[in-house]
Amino acid sequence: MLRNVLVVAQFSVAICIVICTLVIDRQTSFLRHANRGYIQSGLLIGQQMHSKDIEVQRHMLDTLQSLPNVTSVTLGELQPNPHSLTRTGFVYESPAGQVEVQMLRDRVSSDYRETYQPRLLAGRWFDATHGQDDGPSNADFKNGNGNWNIIINSKASLSFGFKKPDDALGKIIREGAKHFTIIGVIDDIRFGSPRETVSPEILFFSSLQRTPFDDPVPAVRFSGVTPVLMSERLDRTWRTLLPDIPSHFSPADKLMEEFYAGDEQREHLFTLGAVAALLIACLGLYGLAAFAAARRVHEIGIRKTLGATSGQTLALLLGDFLKPVLLACLLACPAAWLLMRQWLSGFDERISLSPALFLFAVAGATLIATCTVLGQTVHLARAEPARALRAE
């Protein structure tokens, strides 16, 4: 009895760890390939320029754009894996009443759409020929008043109560005495951790004619060359323009690596744990099978004397040996489901707990257990009854 309990416990732990490993692997893979609202491949992100001089910012854009293999360059104040996130409250006077939404603010320059390639859901993009598209300076935003055009993301549109992106077009939101007309709605851009809910966001435009950036971050889209070579070329150019400010251009997907590193390490540990747990469980099952086989020699001899075939005997023995494994599956699946549901709840975007993952783990454990006891079972089932009874 105690041996059976130990085998059940060992396989329960092993199967639970296997299921958790499969779920973590699927979730990590899902996040790596999930739509983040912009195209990461072929995109390099620089450091903050730490220069509020509009001439320096304009010269940086023009110089980077002139480099070979560069297809577009833009400046922004938010970037993948941002260092800080500040929010400002904006108010919309809806028919149902006043709605205030805390929003991330980003200022973008020309070619932002060509560089990051966000998906425009409704309306139009910024155009320097439209005077009100050129957004307020930070001084205007703090102390001034006026009217400007803006673009918001899908989350902001929903937060203000618009059912469809088209419903937001032409609507005016305000912050103090400043009024902003919505001219476009883009898909949500995820620059932060996948564990965090995407934030409502507002985009201002700067043509770099009168409104400089506070701490702009250059982004460069390139083609026809490796990221390493392009990064080195950009770094050399940066040092000629801003020799006192260190910089390194990094691939956009590399900047997001730290969000996945912890889960990937956890997956590796769970994989090692699953292998160790299965090995221990199989050793226990092998010992139980050897003990049971030694005690059932006489029984098998009698069964075969009474007409039982080797196939019937084999099925009987395998069924008895695998009962602890099947019981372990019944115990492990609910436990793994509860654990993984709790873990997945920490992600804003996540996979569903598919029954296929559980069935795969159960089938794998059953197959391994079958292979573990198959040799002894076949040997016992094929034994000649006369020899078995004589030995007994």
- Tell me: the pLDDT tens digits for 174-205? 988 889 999 999 999 988 888 888 999 999 99
Q: Is the pLDDT score of 82 beyond 60?
A: yes
pLDDT bracket for residue 301 (50, 70, 90): low
Please indicate, yes or no, whether residues 82 and 219 belong to a single structural domain of this protein: yes
Q: Would you state the pLDDT for residue 288?
A: 62
Q: Would you state the pLDDT for residue 245?
A: 87
Among 251, 286, 320, the domain boundary falls at: 251
Name the domain count of the chain. Answer: 2
Please indicate, yes or no, whether residues 209 and 284 belong to a single structural domain of this protein: no
Q: Is the pLDDT score of 376 beyond 70?
A: no
Per-residue pLDDT averaged across 244-268, rounded?
A: 83
Q: Is the pLDDT score of 146 beyond 90?
A: no
Q: Is the pLDDT score of 167 beyond 90?
A: yes
Q: Would you state the pLDDT for residue 298?
A: 52
Q: Is the pLDDT score of 25 beyond 80?
A: yes
Per-residue pLDDT averaged across 159-165, rounded?
A: 94
d(CA 318, CA 322): 6
Please indicate, yes or no, whether residues 145 and 244 belong to a single structural domain of this protein: yes
Q: Is the pLDDT score of 385 beyond 80?
A: no
d(CA 152, CA 92): 13
Please indicate, yes or no, whether residues 186 and 297 belong to a single structural domain of this protein: no
Among 251, 274, 290, the domain boundary falls at: 251
Q: Is the pLDDT score of 53 beyond 90?
A: no
Highest mean pLDDT among 140-154, 216-230, 337-351: 216-230
Q: Is the pLDDT score of 276 beyond 80?
A: yes
Identify whether the C-beta of residue 308 lies closer than 8 Å to the C-beta of residue 296.
no
pLDDT bracket for residue 70 (50, 70, 90): very high
Please indicate, yes or no, whether residues 316 and 348 belong to a single structural domain of this protein: yes
Please indicate, yes or no, whether residues 322 and 200 belong to a single structural domain of this protein: no
Helix segments in the chain, DSSP class H: 2-33, 54-65, 112-116, 138-143, 154-159, 165-168, 227-241, 252-255, 257-295, 297-305, 310-344, 355-381, 385-391
Question: Which residue range is the domain that position 302 belongs to?
Answer: 2-34+258-391
Distance between start and end Cα atoms, the chain = 23
Please indicate, yes or no, whether residues 142 and 126 belong to a single structural domain of this protein: yes
Please indicate, yes or no, whether residues 244 and 262 belong to a single structural domain of this protein: no
Please indicate, yes or no, whether residues 165 and 229 belong to a single structural domain of this protein: yes
Please indicate, yes or no, whether residues 11 and 100 belong to a single structural domain of this protein: no
Q: Would you state the pLDDT for residue 380?
A: 55
Identify whether the C-beta of residue 220 lies closer than 8 Å to the C-beta of residue 70.
yes
Q: Would you state the pLDDT for residue 313?
A: 56
Please indicate, yes or no, whether residues 121 and 262 belong to a single structural domain of this protein: no
Highest mean pLDDT among 55-59, 71-75, 246-250: 71-75
Highest mean pLDDT among 214-223, 311-320, 381-390: 214-223
Question: Which residue's structure tokens are 């072929």?
Answer: 42
Instruction: Give Cα separations from 73 to 23, 112, 240, 252, 365 (angstroms).
Output: 39, 7, 18, 14, 53
Highest mean pLDDT among 7-21, 109-123, 237-251: 109-123
Q: Do the strands 201-205 and 97-108 form a parallel or antiparallel pair, or are they unpaired? A: parallel
Q: Is the pLDDT score of 392 beyond 60?
A: no
pLDDT digits (tens, 9 = 90+) for 88-127: 899 999 888 899 999 999 999 989 999 999 999 999 999 9
Q: Bridge partners of 175?
A: 178
At 211, the amino acid letter reads: T
Q: Do the strands 87-94 and 172-175 form a parallel or antiparallel pair, or are they unpaired? A: antiparallel
Please indicate, yes or no, whether residues 243 and 262 belong to a single structural domain of this protein: no
Q: Would you state the pLDDT for residue 14?
A: 87
Q: Would you state the pLDDT for residue 227?
A: 94
DSSP letter string, 117-185: -PPEEEE----TTSGGGB---HHHHHH--EEEEEEEEHHHHHHTT-SSHHHHTT-EEEETTEEEEEEEE
